[in-house]
Chains A and B, each alone.
Chain A
Amino acid sequence: MRDLLIEIHTEEMPAKELMRLTNALAEEVAKRLQETNFSFDKVKQFATPRRLAIIMTELTSQQPDSVIERKGPALKAAFTSEGVPTKACEGFARSIGVQPTELITIQNDQGEWVGIQQKVSGKTLQTILPMIISDAIAALPIKKPMRWGDNTIEFIRPVHSVILLYGPQIIPAIILGLTTGNKTRGHRFYTKNWLTISLPSRYVALLKKNYVIVDFNERKKIIREQLVNLTQKELGNEYAVQMDEDLLNEVTGLIEWPVSLMGRFDKVFLDVPQEALISAMKNHQRYFPIVNTRGVLQPYFIIVSNIDSQDNKQIIQGNERVLRARLSDAQFFFNKDRTTIQKEGIDQYLQHLKKVTFQQQLGSLFDKAKRLQQLTGEIAAILQQDDKLASEAGLFAKMDLITELVGEFPELQGIAGFYYLQMLGISSHIGQAVRDQYRPAFAKDELPQTELGCLLSVADRLDTLVGAFGMGQLPTGDKDPLGLRRQAMGILRILIEKKIDIDLKNILEFASKNYTISFPNQNLIEDILNFMLERLRPWYQERGVTADVFAAVAALKIFRPFDFHQRIQAVQAFKQFPEASALSIANKRVSNILDKYSEKITAKDLNHNLFEEEVERELAEKAEEKYVKIKQLLILQHYTEMLAELATLREPLDRFFDKVMVMTEDKAKRENRLLLLKKLRELFLQVADIALLQ
């Protein structure tokens, strides 16, 4: 048993892909080795911009030997009664190169055969590994593979060498078009020559000697420490570095030898919205911003360079120059916008939105703003909130999309609006709502901070959904260019998590009439409602709600997401009741009986005189008693209590089915019983279709 080193040395790979790829490589190789009966102790992954590597410790050099059985003809057919081998037997023996006398008897439950046991020696790692590595590499989830030079091989970036080293021994193979070896490169600028790895266990140390921290997590840790220490050393305790995890990962993926340096920028830039400055630093330059103890941006930043420079000043000055240019741009645009907006005033400024198309055939951004004015106002009115404020938030929502600042920093949409509206002295409620309208921007993103922000975000998304579905632009498969799935999920999350109880069907009708055009898709509201329901299914699944619980509530066609959610929780809780399973079965039974009965039941009310058995009367009385309670609880949306009430019907219902024959000859009695069951079923359906529980 020895250690195995696999290294693929490449040109600089995309920083964000490194860990995903090296983890996949480890997994794919390990899986295949296990499947072929090799064993090992541990797998360790490594990744830098120029290499993916794994080390497997204590890997066996050979598969264990195995014994295989081969069956020939049945024993009866293999020998005559005199014990002479038949033709079939001789043929079989010949086919495997032995004498019939050497065959043994193989016996199992199904009978007896002649046959042979063959010992197969395990294959060596050397013979099997090349194929395993090739297959594992082919299985890597490379988003955009590329070709290079004169060949047709594909990888994420051109490959320069491949190491396959088992202990001190190279395992020869052709991988990604290259002959495997034991050589790699150190840091691009520190080490000119190829490095020879004598043993896998020496890989990490040799690379470190050559200015490569090959372990991604170690590099990340070093950067984290450098950031904290440098801030402390240069600026003291009053300052802190903003350590965004995504940025930290990306920076770790961009370098092999981290050296952090502190840069500065002119204080005058701090007049620009700090989101713009942070975006310039983080997104464009991959710098770490510095804030004070109150979280306010300070005129410093940290560069993580890939070299321990002979003259750090060069690097710092160069980066400061680049940042200065970017910040000047941001400042220039911000001041220009402020001047224009102040001069024109909000109403005139909004007119510019007319020049910008919202979406093909759906009018301009100005039309969109007008629709949002109506729609946000309507939603607020339904919820008995300040609809005038909401209408204004809708009208101003898109004002920043024509600003120069957003033109330069598209990621500042909403945020720029917040600053410009503040400058105009418009209510901060509106400004905050405009700022937050694009939240949640991704699955785990935060929701808008304010109630008005939530309403605006919902209105904006509903308007977009109506437009797209109206024009028949439904997402298909992977294709969802407008991000409609995300938009729909955003609406649902806001309504559910912020407990905003509103009927989507009504709002969608309003939103659709809000468009002045007539849509080719006549069915759009139903399409959107179904689309939204389909978004909820996986969302609940992730939260441990089982498919049957979801189905039980979905069956009711409820279009109030928050109400839907409360029912889901109630049914989920109900499933734990001891009565749940029996009541579900009873509901199924009732449902089947009612489905099968094709005649129309004429009576509206139960006739107690028609009951024969005490259990019938008992059930009817209980049901009538519950009916009143259930109606009260329904108004309060107390679904858990409703189900608790209904659970007490279990015993009378069981007794009913034990004693009573529903489909009796007497029509009046029969229909009276069916009516009782129908009423019971309706009672349960006030919460969910319990019959669908598993």
Chain B
Amino acid sequence: MKKFTFDVKTLQGMIGALQAFWVEHGCVIMQPYDMEVGAGTFHPASFLRSIGPEPWSAAYVQPCRRPTDGRYGENPNRLQQYYQFQVILKPAPLEIQALYLQSLQVLGVAPLVDDIRFVEDNWESPTLGAWGLGWEVWLNGMEISQFTYFQQMGGLPCLPVTGEITYGLERLAMPLQGVDNIYDLIWSKTAKGSVTYGDIFHQNEIEMSKYNFEQADILVLFQQFDIYEKESLRLIELGLPLPAYEKAMAASHTFNLLDARRALSVTERQKTILKIRRLSKAIAESYFKAREALGFPLLQGKQHA
């Protein structure tokens, strides 16, 4: 059998190496959720699985959309779409930091050469009704990861506590590849030559920036937001938290587009955030009840505290 090795000097190699590492440590490798999300935390494998008593370990890549961060492909550090590698460990093992550091070593970070720091960063997601405590991790001054112990999700306390590690793949790749411009990152080295990040995504950044900032139809977005919100509420009433959550994610992304179009006043913005939070909380409760009704299957005979 051929043994696979990963070239961690490429983005695809990094992803492969991280997946292999976390498989070794008991993670289910999931795939990206097939909807637009602002962060890997929105993936049901993070948001919903961190609710309730059931243990859960997963890792996955999630493309993230932040319409306001678009720069028409002109800024060497900012993108409206980028990639996170997300690791969810529930309950968070006491050695979670050590595991994370080992994973960095797999990628070529040398702890006795590089300056690695855990700098306080308290995470809060107003739309998910969630907060946690942890750090941003610095590699020679570059923020390469977010590390969070979830304390509350959808308004519910996290018991046990989920540990979330979010690698910013582009940010991590830049120092590892010694590159100053995101678009110069090597995604893949093939027999026919290297494929860069720019080769794959530069046009996308330009077009999507135009769409996000100039072309997204504000009236349509407002209508869509209302529809997604109403649908989500209806589905919550019907005891269907998973489809309700999809509608909430859609509403959230619509909100982000409205934000990029600067269509929301400060007050309206706050009100809209509160609407999404209301959905998140109701969904979290509904999901908890649904899992409870199933007898928390992943507990495997453990008593629910």
Contact = CB atoms under 8 A, between A and B. Distances in A.
- Mostly, the A contact residues are loop
B114 A357 contact: no
A158 B148 CA distance: 12
A13 B117 CA distance: 11
Contacts of A144: 122, 133
Given A318-B114, A321-B180, A150 B91 contact: yes
B76 to A, nearest CB: 7
Interface string A331-374: 01000000000000000000000011101100000000000000
A147 B163 CA distance: 11
Contacts of B266: 356-357, 359-360
B117 A306 contact: yes
A306 B115 contact: yes
A322 B118 contact: no
Contacts of A146: 132-133, 149, 151, 161
Contact of A318 (B92, B133, B135, B142): B142
Interface string A297-317: 000000101110111001101
Contact of A160 (B94, B111, B158): B94
B139 A318 contact: yes
Interface in A480-526: none
Contacts of B116: 188-189, 306-307
Contact of A322 (B101, B141, B163): B141
Interface string B109-129: 011111111111010000000
Interface residues of B, number: 42
A225 B214 CA distance: 53
Contacts of B93: 149
A189 B105 CA distance: 12
Most buried by B among A150, A188, A321, A360: A150
A40 B77 CA distance: 57
Nearest to A12: B118
A149 B161 contact: yes
A190 B110 CA distance: 12
B234 to A, nearest CB: 30
A318 B141 contact: yes
Contacts of B180: 321, 324-325
Given A12-B135, A322-B141, A309 B115 contact: yes
Nearest to A146: B133
B30 to A, nearest CB: 23
A284 to B, nearest CB: 9
A15 interface: yes
Contacts of B75: 329, 332
Nearest to A145: B133
Contact of B76 (A11, A148, A325, A356): A325
Contacts of A152: 159
Interface string B132-149: 110100011110000001
Contacts of A14: 120
B267 interface: yes
B140 A307 contact: no
Contacts of B113: 309-311, 314-315
B149 A307 contact: no
Contact of B92 (A15, A149, A188, A328): A149
B5 interface: no
Contacts of B94: 148-149, 158, 160
A675 interface: no
Interface string A138-164: 000000101111111000011010000
Contact of B114 (A49, A150, A157, A314): A314
A500 to B, nearest CB: 32
B91 A49 contact: no
B175 interface: yes
A254 interface: yes
A189 B149 contact: no
B198 interface: no
Contacts of A278: none
A319 interface: yes
A179 B268 CA distance: 52
A287 to B, nearest CB: 8
A150 B93 CA distance: 9
Nearest to A144: B133
A149 B77 contact: no
Interface string A245-285: 00000000011000000000000000000000000000001
Most buried by B among A147, A157, A188, A303: A147
B15 interface: no
15 contacts: A12-B117, A146-B151, A149-B92, A150-B91, A152-B159, A303-B115, A306-B116, A307-B111, A315-B115, A318-B115, A318-B140, A322-B141, A329-B75, A332-B75, A357-B267
Please provide the 5 A-B residue pairs with the shortest distance between their CB atoms, ordered closest to farther. A318-B140, A319-B141, A12-B118, A14-B120, A305-B115
Interface of B: 75-77, 91-94, 97, 101, 110-120, 122, 132-133, 135, 139-142, 149, 151, 158-161, 163, 174-175, 180, 262, 265-267
Given A306-B117, A328-B77, 16 more contacts: A11-B97, A12-B118, A12-B119, A150-B91, A150-B161, A157-B133, A158-B94, A189-B112, A255-B117, A303-B115, A306-B116, A307-B112, A314-B140, A318-B114, A324-B180, A359-B266
